[in-house]
């Protein structure tokens, strides 16, 4: 089992840094660097990746918060609407962030009249390493505890129980997919390979992993993320079919 390692803040003299926020920031930076390097190898404008990353970051924070407010804990925010702005207390949805990031990226790329599929695929190349690093922050604060388990990667919580830790699992998923993407890059994978692989694997992973969560809201037995996971896999299939049709 994994020992209970908790790190919520890092003190640097008079400065206190939130460990979760730090890991998310490092994940965004690493993901952008990886995507920008792929853009250069593909002969694209790497500065576009850095520019759109700014919009994606802002939109993902807004989307992540609004999705959490609307679907995960609406009662709290209806009772006290000002709590919507209290993001330092936590409450961001990964899927809400992805939705917000997608809207921002589409808006930016359309505004610049760039190839949506090619740039979206290039941006997706950086997502796995970003998830791998960012979700370490979730593991350090243990904000996604799961059901009881005797699995070798179960985390032993302070009360003595051994539980799935979904932050850890998602971090592992991110790093594994980053290795897969590295192998694909060496083979000069063409668009929309990274986009299709990410959508299909992350959607599948989250759909099944969310059954292990114990604190998420559920609608008709499924979490909000599970419904979007189904849509994500469907989108991957649709994009793949469009690409195959274009080749034939």
To the question of pTM greater than 0.75 for the whole model, the response is: yes
Q: What are the tens digits of pLDDT across the range 63-97?
A: 999 999 999 989 889 999 999 988 877 789 999 99
The SS3 of residue 180 is: helix
Of 174, 177, 172, 236, residue with least CA distance to 203: 236
Are 118 and 38 contacting, i.e. CB atoms less than 8 angstroms apart? no
Phi then psi for residue 27, to 5 deg, are -65, -40
Q: What are the tens digits of pLDDT across the range 131-141?
A: 999 999 999 99
Query: For the chain, what are the domain ranges?
Result: 9-247
What is the pLDDT at residue 248?
A: 60
Are 8 and 89 contacting, i.e. CB atoms less than 8 angstroms apart? no
């Amino acid at each position: 089992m994994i020992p209970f390692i908790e790190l919520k803040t890092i003190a640097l003299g008079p400065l206190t840094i939130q460990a979760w926020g730090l890991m998310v920031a490092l994940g965004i930076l690493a993901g952008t660097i990886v995507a920008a390097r792929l853009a250069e190898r593909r002969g694209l404008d790497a500065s576009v990746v850095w520019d759109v990353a700014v919009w994606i970051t802002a939109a993902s924070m807004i989307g992540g918060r609004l999705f959490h407010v609307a679907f995960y804990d609406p009662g709290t925010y209806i009772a006290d609407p000002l709590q919507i702005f209290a993001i330092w207390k936590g409450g961001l949805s990964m899927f809400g962030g992805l939705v917000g990031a997608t809207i921002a990226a589409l808006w930016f790329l359309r505004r610049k009249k760039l190839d949506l599929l090619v740039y979206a695929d290039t941006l997706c190349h950086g997502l796995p390493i970003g998830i791998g690093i960012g979700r370490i922050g979730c593991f350090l604060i243990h904000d996604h505890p799961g059901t009881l388990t005797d699995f070798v990667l179960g985390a032993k919580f302070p009360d003595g129980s051994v539980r799935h830790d979904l932050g850890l699992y998602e971090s592992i998923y991110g790093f594994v997919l980053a290795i897969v993407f590295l192998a694909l890059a060496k083979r000069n994978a063409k668009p929309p390979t990274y986009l299709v692989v990410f959508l299909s694997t992350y959607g599948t992973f989250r759909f099944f992993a969310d059954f292990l969560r114990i604190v998420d809201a559920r609608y008709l037995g499924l979490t909000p993320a599970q419904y979007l996971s189904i849509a994500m896999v469907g989108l991957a299939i649709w994009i793949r079919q469009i690409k195959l049709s274009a080749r034939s």
